[in-house]
Amino acid sequence: MIKRTTCNRDCPDVCALEAEIVEGRLVSLKGVKDDPVTKGFLCPRTTRFPHRQHSPDRLTTPLRRIDGELQPISWPEALDLCAQKLKEARDDHGPESIFHYKSGGNMGYLRALIDVFFAQFGPVTVKRGDICSGAGEWAQEQDFGLCDSSDPEDLLNSKLIVVWGKNIHTSSVHLLPIIMEAKKQGIKIVGLDPVPTRTSRIADLFLCPRPGTDGQLALALVSYLSSQPNGIDPEAADYCENLEEFLALARSTPLEKRVEACGLKLSEALEFFKLYHENRPSSILVGWGAPRRANGALTVRVMDGLAAVSGNVGLPGACTSFYFQRKRHFSRRALPAEVEPPRTFSEARLGPELQHADPPVRLAWITAGNPAAMLPDSRTIAEELKKIDFTVVVDTHHTDTTACADLILPTLTLVEDDDLLGAYGNHYLRVSQPVMNPAGEARHELWIFQELAKRVGLEGLLEGTPREWKERLLDPSVDRAVLDGEVIRQPGAPKVVFQNRVFPTPTGKVRLTTVEPPVPQGEFHKFPFRLMALSHPDSQSSQWSVEPPEYPEAQISEQAPEAWRCGSLARLESRKGGFSVRLRRVANLHPEVVLLPKGGSGMFGGWCPNDLIDAQETDHGGGACFYEQPVRLVPIE
Ligand SMILES: Nc1nc2c(c(=O)[nH]1)N[C@H]1C(S)=C(S)[C@@H](COP(=O)(O)OP(=O)(O)OC[C@H]3O[C@@H](n4cnc5c(=O)[nH]c(N)nc54)[C@H](O)[C@@H]3O)O[C@H]1N2
Ligand SMILES: Nc1nc2c(c(=O)[nH]1)N[C@H]1C(S)=C(S)[C@@H](COP(=O)(O)OP(=O)(O)OC[C@H]3O[C@@H](n4cnc5c(=O)[nH]c(N)nc54)[C@H](O)[C@@H]3O)O[C@H]1N2
Ligand code: SF4
Ligand SMILES: [Mo]
């Protein structure tokens, strides 16, 4: 039997899925052919999802840890226990002693109802910032007043597309058909990445700047443009604040010195600058790499500034795209008013925040995330979660975080789920609907919180079926056909963002920055490399669709010592610890970088990049500095 639903994973695309079910088993997942985004193909990680759906790690019943051992318990027992522990923590220690952490394991809007529960029950402690997109979103909100994009198809109106630290082939695969069409039409593609991603093979020009120096490159380009006829848009002053200050900032350091800081040859940088100058309109695809750094938000601000002063904003084919407003049509009209939490913990610094929490956390509730593997300083988080009186984790599978739980509650996978979804890589809205029965006793989280609400004196708070909640949470302006499975473009979403150069800032103009992103300094003495653990085609963060490798592949530059041969083992170490990796030498990788897959498991697999990474926030926006941990490699004979 073939049934359709929508992928709810943390991914820009939000694909339309065709699931083949045979005798109650998921046999295959394919992309719907006649879908405007999916176009008949899926990424490898979801194509291989049937393996994960039926894996032995699947959670099928509530599990309670008693004397260190997990034991199945019934739902009524589990829910009674949760209700009792929640009330005890709140009444004896105050609502701030409860911490609810939610990540993006399921991107459905109905997950907002879990926040509503905790806000009404407490309000309780929640996270602040966003380790994923926080820095980039903050930057674009400062510059443009809103972080949003033109339709991806508008890239075909560009003459040049700059893929600035974005791994399209791995992380945003449904942008590829558009990029390939652009190439066919003769639109120039420039890639800028310290890692030779597959984009390097399709780019007309691919440069490998030193990690974290993109701000220097952008400012050097502004400085170059300011010396060229019409390099700076003659009307820029009409739609930009701080134009002169921004241009002065760009010129405050000689262009050659900036290019040198990027580790690039002047000739190659000038080739890029010339292409950028001569091909307008142009778009920049701002990836997630450059912003996840100590200078990340300021770096995105100068990229935005570059686009603005050169006239590449607010026109067809001229977009600086980082993110899409996926929640534009999410309505709070059926929800109680939002309440301020009594306390917040920085997501990027969750480990130290838990360690030093005053008052301490008595009960932690983890929704759709694996912080004991995916947040920086993950080992500290795991240790702290284990110390907390009562930790509840709701997930579909065993993870490093469920390994820290006192109680594990099983919930639905993407083929069992029922929700409403918006995308952060396009402007479409969709629903997911179950194509299979839940495995074992796995339950929708709406049901879990409805049952809890009854037990803690919040009867009626979340009453309604998933379908009713989808209807309530969807803005009235949206065609209701979406609820029956049609893909609907968000009404009013911009085909061309900030068209006519009107920006939702206080003055209506782009707010150019006047602050220079610092050049990253190195602790090169003992730890000569920077660890970059990036998205891998076969995994969604820590969720692998194939068995993860025993030893992760650590890619190093061909300039590394010759004795470090391909296939040999080495120990990868930061000042926090280390694990074994298998080396692979790669051409054109920046010599400062050790490249690993993100994900991994410190507890089950023996390797987890975040065990080596310090908890550090980006300059603004509460992002995490994932990609600049100093590390070294010690070959194992
Ligand atoms: N297969 C797969 N796809 C995924 C995910 C996954 O886990 N697996 N994760 C999803 C998630 S959570 C997200 S947020 C999105 C985003 O996905 P991510 O994979 O997080 O981000 P990308 O922008 O695609 O990739 C980051 C790129 O930035 C580059 N980079 C790093 N530092 C720098 C720098 O200083 N300068 C420059 N110029 N480049 C740099 C990296 O080499 C890499 O090519 O994709 C999603 N897609
Ligand atoms: N070193 C390094 N670390 C990184 C990154 C990096 O590039 N490098 N990327 C960062 C980024 S961009 C992100 S977004 C984070 C991702 O971090 P997480 O969101 O913690 O990533 P996942 O490992 O995908 O964990 C999601 C969990 O949700 C579960 N899940 C799936 N569906 C549901 C559901 O409906 N309900 C519930 N309760 N659970 C569900 C999944 O089984 C999985 O265990 O990782 C960050 N960590
Ligand atoms: S993870 Fe992304 S690309 Fe893969 S099927 Fe889901 S939405 Fe599509
Ligand atoms: Mo992310």
Selection from 173, 210, 102 nearest residue 557 by Cα: 210
* Residue 158 CB less than 6 A away from ligand 2: no
Largest CA distance in the chain: 75
Q: Does one domain contain both 139 and 261? A: yes
Query: What's residue 634's pLDDT?
Result: 95
Q: Is residue 426 part of a domain?
A: no
Domain tally, the chain: 3
The ligand whose atoms approach the alpha carbon of 176 most closely is 3
Q: Two tokens at 255?
A: 């262009």
User: What pLDDT, on a 0 to 100 scale, did the predictor assign at position 273?
Assistant: 98
Q: What is the domain-level CATH number for residue 181?
A: 3.40.228.10
Q: Is the pLDDT of residue 177 over 90?
A: yes
Domain co-membership, 149 together with 118: no
CATH number, domain containing residue 81: 3.40.50.740
Residue whose CA lies nearest to ligand 1 atom number 19: 535
User: Do 146 and 236 have their domain in common?
Assistant: yes
Residue 577 belongs to some domain of the structure: yes
d(CA 171, ligand 3 centre) in Å: 9
Q: Using a 6 Å cutoff on CB, does residue 10 contact ligand 1?
A: yes
* Atom from ligand 3 closest to the CA of residue 38: 8
Residue 523: predicted pLDDT:
65
Test site for ligand 2: of 51, 396, 408, most ligand atoms within 8 A of the Cβ? 396
Encode burial over 548-580: b for 16+ CB neighbours within 10 A, e otherwise. Answer: bbebbbbbbbeebeeeeeeeeebebbbebebbb
Residue (of 233, 224, 311) closest to 271 by Cα position: 224
Verdict on whether the full-model pTM lies above 0.85: yes
Same domain for 297 and 176, yes or no, is yes
241: which 2 tokens?
């604040």
Please give the Cα distance from 270 to 287 (Å, whole number): 22
User: What's the pLDDT score for residue 266?
Assistant: 98
387 and 309 share a domain?
Answer: no
- pLDDT category of residue 548 using cuts at 50, 70 and 90: confident
Q: Are strands 529-534 and 593-597 parallel, antiparallel or unpaired?
A: parallel
Closest CA to ligand 3's atom 2: 11
Q: Do 234 and 168 share a structural domain? A: yes
At residue 593, the 3 state secondary structure works out as strand
Quick check: CB of 5 below 6 Å from ligand 3?
no
Query: For 39-74, how does the pLDDT look when each residue is reduced to its tens digit (9 = 90+)?
Result: 999 999 999 999 999 999 999 999 999 999 999 999
Answer yes or no: is 347 within a domain. Answer: yes
State whether 120 and 183 are in the same domain.
Answer: no
Q: What ligand 2 atom has the least distance to the C-alpha of 531? A: 1
Give, using CA atoms, the residue closest to atom 14 of ligand 2. Answer: 132
Shared domain check, 121 and 141: no
CA of 395 to the centre of ligand 4 (A): 18
User: What's the pLDDT at 604?
Assistant: 84
- Give the pLDDT score at 278: 98
Q: How confident is the model at residue 549 (pLDDT cuts 50, 70, 90)?
A: confident
* Distance of alpha carbon 423 from alpha carbon 426, whole angstroms: 6
C-alpha 537/C-alpha 47 separation (Å) is 11
Q: Are 548 and 541 in contact (CB under 8 A)?
A: no
Residue 425 lies in a domain: no
CA distance 164 to 289: 9
With cut-offs at 50, 70 and 90, classify the pLDDT of residue 637: low
Helices (H) and strands (E) in the chain, counts: 19, 29
605 falls in which pLDDT band (50, 70, 90)?
confident
CATH of the domain at 564: 2.40.40.20
- Ligand 4 centroid–CA 367 distance in Å is 15
Distance (Å, rounded) from C-alpha 111 to C-alpha 121? 16
Among 460, 486, 521, identify where a domain stops. Answer: 460
User: For residue 523, is it within any domain?
Assistant: no
* pLDDT digit string, tens, across residues 424-475: 999 999 999 999 999 999 999 999 999 999 999 999 999 999 999 999 999 9
Q: How far apart (Å, rounded) are the C-alpha atoms in residues 416 and 464?
A: 18
pLDDT band at 547 (very low <50, low <70, confident <90, very high): confident
Tokens for 513, please give them: 């920055």
Average pLDDT over residues 574-581: 96
- Are the C-beta atoms of 164 and 286 separated by less than 8 Å? yes
Is 2 within a domain?
A: no
542: containing domain? 529-635
Whether residue 292 sits in one domain with residue 350: no
Who's near 544: CB < 8 A, 6+ residues apart?
52, 538, 599
Q: 196 with 308, same domain?
A: yes
pLDDT, tens digit, 9 for 90 and up, residues 142-158: 999 999 999 999 999 99
Q: Taking all residues of the chain, what is their mean pLDDT, rounded to a whole number?
A: 97
Mean pLDDT over 534-550 rounds to: 92
Pairing label, strands 488-489, 407-410: unpaired
DSSP label at 70? E
Span 281-309, average pLDDT: 98
The pLDDT score that the predictor gives to residue 81 is 98
Task: Please provide residue 586's backbone torsions phi and psi, each rounded to the nearest 5 degrees.
Answer: -135, 140
Residue 250 has pLDDT above 70, yes or no: yes
472 domain residue, yes or no: no
Cβ of residue 542 lying under 6 Å from some atom of ligand 1: no
Asked whether 542 lines ligand 2 (CB < 6 A), one says yes
**Same domain, residue pair 179 and 235:** yes
Is 164's C-beta closer than 6 angstroms to any atom of ligand 1?
yes
Pair 172, 262 in one domain: yes
Rounded to whole angstroms, the Cα distance separating 530 from 391 reads 34
Rounded Cα–Cα distance for residues 148 and 543 (Å): 28
Asked if residue 486 belongs to a domain, the reply is no
- Quick one: which of 133, 163, 127, 126 has its CA closest to 148? 133
Report how far residue 346's alpha carbon sits from residue 6's, in angstroms, rounded to the nearest whole number.
31
Q: What percent of the chain has pLDDT over 70?
A: 100
Is the backbone peptide bond immediately before 281 cis, with ω within 30 degrees of 0?
A: yes
Q: Which of 493, 473, 540, 426 is nearest to 16 (CA)?
A: 426
DSSP calls for 24-50: TEEEEEEE-TT-TTTTT---HHHHTHH
- Collect residues with CB below 5 Å from ion ligand 4: 132
pLDDT in tens, 190-205: 999 999 999 889 999 9
Residue pLDDT, tens place only, 353-370: 999 999 999 999 999 999
* Nearest one of 474, 483, 427 to 330, comparing CA atoms: 474
